[in-house]
């Protein structure tokens, strides 16, 4: 069977066997289509039926989570852990707590995680998990009781050489602390079964900053390859969470001007540059809304989401040289891509997972906009998570500078790998193809080595 037909057949089977899992299908379609030149050159992947094997998780765990709210009423949520691939090492990937979470979202994130983790060059498999629980508007005690109830089931399925979850949307330092505490209570063991832990009890320096810093390091490498640098660039950033905050912080320290951030209610445009301390105070300390930012900085503008026309986002209509989508999936659409191109944007660098729709990617590439794909550009977080595991295993604690130096080297290596692989497979400059083929090859070759298991 020709490689093209094989790819379409596998995609068709996903639609039949995983109906309604649109985000998972979108992620699989992008990866599988970009593998065509590899499959045509190396038939062993088809002979070993690697595509059919890799699109099915090794294990999918779905469980009921019952917790009690402050009024004493029992509440019910769903919990998920999708252990996609353990070919390269223990399952690794974050937990997301957000009302939009469903099996399709967790599968898309877990599938992406396989190739992202492979690209880091470290020994980690791919997984993802989470719940449709919404931490917003809940008291600390409610969040704690939810995390404890979630861990009451999850603890059976994780372990420091088996599966090591981390944070993602809605799961930050507070949630990791409650989850870790409950694991310890249930098992009586103090083990590195989660990453993103507090520095005071087993966390790694630079883990909090890693995804945002790594995203900027990746953009710098990409720009350098085109004779440019991040210094002096006007940058738009979406999101106001972990990834966005530390993207903004690193951009400022490297001499760029990050002029925006956004949350689920609106966008801030601050032409003089976002004040990181204000942003951290609003989002990390007070868990507040960005509306507050414009009150504290009268030269900034706040654009509420409901005041922006449907089909686009205010943040992508702000003129910029580089755009860093760092909030959530499919947040940058074709309408937004048109705005970015007409405003002269040079590079879109994905901090979030799959933030750009396929139509928008197509449009950006057609118009010569450089593109840093998520599984390469945002891999810094999981890379430092693996460094946290290494420190836990050896009972060491490395300095901020040491971890940051390693992070920089890993991001450079990821860029070089994606760049040279894209060239080798006939798509110079197309880092989507480069990242997908390089990540896939590493996992697929190891799957063949390990036999049909």
Question: Closer to ligand NDP at the Cβ: 228 or 388?
Answer: 388
**Of positions 85, 131, 247, 328, contacts ligand NDP by CB under 6 A:** 328
**Of positions 356, 378, 417, 421, contacts ligand NDP by CB under 6 A:** 378
- DSSP result, 258-311: E-EEE-SSEEEE-TT---HHHHHIIIIIS---THHHHHH-TTSEEEEGGGS-TT
Q: Annotate each residue in 223-242 with x if it binds ligand NDP (CB under 6 A) or - if it does not, as one string.
A: ----------------xxxx
Closest-approach residue to ligand NDP (CB):
241
Tokens of 355: 């933030």
Tokens of 159: 């372990």
Does position 49 interact with ligand NDP (CB under 6 A)? The reply is no
Taking the CA of residue 312 as centre, how many other CA atoms within 13 Å lie in the half-sphere pointing to its CB?
A: 16
The DSSP code for 159 is B
Question: Smallest gap, in angstroms, from Cβ of residue 242 to ligand NDP?
Answer: 4
Does position 399 interact with ligand NDP (CB under 6 A)? The reply is no
Does position 249 interact with ligand NDP (CB under 6 A)? The reply is no
**Helix intervals (H) in 18-92:** 22-34, 36-41, 44-47, 50-54
Q: What span, in angstroms and rounded, lies between the C-alpha atoms of 264 and 227?
A: 36
Catalytic one of 107, 116, 128, 233: 128
**Of positions 49, 264, 399, 405, contacts ligand NDP by CB under 6 A:** 264
Does position 85 interact with ligand NDP (CB under 6 A)? The reply is no
The sign of the CA dihedral 208, 212, 214, 217 is: negative
- What are the angstrom distances between the C-alpha of 145 and each of 136, 227, 293, 305? 14, 52, 31, 32
**Of positions 79, 170, 177, 202, contacts ligand NDP by CB under 6 A:** 170
Active site residue 442: no
What phi and psi values does residue 280 have, to the nearest 5 degrees?
-65, -40
Question: Closer to ligand NDP at the Cβ: 45 or 178?
Answer: 178
Does position 381 interact with ligand NDP (CB under 6 A)? The reply is yes
Does position 276 interact with ligand NDP (CB under 6 A)? The reply is no
Catalytically active residues, by annotation: 128
Instruction: List residues near ligand NDP by CB under 6 A.
Output: 167-170, 172, 211, 239-244, 263-265, 326-328, 351-353, 378, 381
């Amino acid at each position: 069977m020709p490689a093209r037909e094989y790819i379409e057949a596998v995609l068709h089977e996903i639609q039949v066997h995983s109906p309604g899992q649109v985000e998972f299908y979108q992620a699989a379609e992008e990866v599988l289509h970009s593998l065509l030149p590899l499959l045509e050159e190396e038939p062993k992947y088809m002979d070993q039926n690697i595509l059919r094997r890799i699109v099915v998780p090794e294990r999918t765990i779905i469980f009921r989570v019952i917790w009690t709210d402050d009024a004493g009423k029992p509440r019910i949520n769903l919990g998920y852990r999708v252990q996609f691939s353990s070919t390269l090492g223990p399952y690794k990937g974050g937990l997301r707590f957000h009302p939009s979470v469903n099996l399709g979202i967790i599968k898309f994130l877990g599938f992406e995680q396989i190739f992202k983790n492979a690209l880091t060059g470290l020994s980690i498999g791919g997984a993802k998990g989470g719940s449709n629980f919404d931490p917003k508007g809940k008291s600390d005690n409610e969040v704690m009781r939810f995390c404890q109830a979630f861990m009451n089931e999850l603890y059976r399925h994780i372990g420091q050489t088996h599966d090591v979850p981390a944070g993602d949307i809605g799961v930050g330092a507070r949630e990791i602390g409650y989850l870790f505490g409950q694991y310890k209570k249930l098992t009586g063991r103090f083990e590195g079964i989660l990453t993103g832990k507090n520095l005071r009890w087993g966390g790694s320096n630079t883990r909090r900053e890693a995804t945002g810093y790594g995203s900027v390091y990746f953009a710098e490498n990409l720009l350098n390859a085109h004779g440019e640098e991040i210094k002096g660039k006007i940058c738009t950033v979406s999101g106001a969470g972990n990834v966005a905050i530390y993207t903004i912080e690193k951009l400022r320290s490297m001499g760029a001007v990050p002029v925006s951030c956004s949350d689920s209610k609106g966008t801030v445009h601050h032409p003089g540059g976002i004040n990181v301390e204000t942003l951290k105070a609003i989002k990390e300390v007070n868990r507040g809304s960005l509306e507050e930012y414009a009150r504290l900085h009268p030269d900034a503008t706040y654009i509420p989401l409901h005041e922006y026309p449907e089909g686009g986002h205010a943040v992508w209509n702000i003129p910029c040289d580089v755009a860093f989508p760092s909030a959530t999936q499919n947040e940058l659409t074709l309408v937004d891509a048109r705005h970015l191109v007409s405003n002269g944007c040079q590079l879109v660098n994905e901090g979030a997972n799959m933030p750009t729709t396929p139509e928008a990617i197509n449009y950006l590439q057609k118009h010569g906009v450089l593109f840093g794909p998520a599984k390469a550009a945002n891999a810094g977080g999981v890379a430092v998570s693996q460094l946290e595991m290494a420190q836990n295993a050896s009972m060491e604690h490395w300095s901020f500078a040491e971890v940051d130096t390693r992070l920089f080297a890993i991001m450079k290596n990821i860029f070089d790998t994606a760049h040279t692989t894209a060239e080798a497979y006939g798509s110079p400059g197309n880092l989507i193809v480069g990242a997908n083929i390089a990540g896939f090859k590493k996992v697929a070759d190891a799957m063949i080595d390990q036999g049909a298991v």
